[in-house]
Structures are given as structure tokens and as C-alpha cells.
Amino acid sequence: MADYDAIPKDKRDKEIGTEDNPLPLISFKDRSKKNLGNNTN
């Protein structure tokens, strides 16, 4: 999943995923393995 809001305004018209404009990924580091099976949110 990508966080398109994290792309700087001056680079939004450029190709995404290049070295000059990397794809900003959403971090899920706060999710624990314990909660992975509980998708009722």
C-alpha cells in the first residue's frame, strides 16, 4: 500500500517509484502478530 499524501507536492507530477521519487509505503510496524487473525475492525 502506498501513502500518496506523503509525496511532496513538487514531485506529484513525476513518475512514482523512480530513484528521484520513491514510492512511499505505509508502515504497519505497530501491528502485532497477535492481532493479525482478528480482522473485525
How far apart CA 23 and CA 41 sit, in angstroms, is 27
CA distances from 40 to 10, 27, 28 (A): 38, 20, 17
Q: Which amino acid is it at 15? A: E
Task: Please report the pLDDT score of residue 19 as a whole number.
Answer: 86
Task: Please report the pLDDT score of residue 17 as a whole number.
Answer: 85
Is the pLDDT at 13 greater than 70, yes or no? yes
Q: What is the pLDDT of residues 16-41, one digit of tens each?
A: 888 888 888 877 776 565 655 655 55
Task: Please report the pLDDT score of residue 1 as a whole number.
Answer: 80
Task: Please report the pLDDT score of residue 35 as a whole number.
Answer: 57
Contact between residue 1 and residue 27 where contact means Cβ atoms under 8 Å apart: no
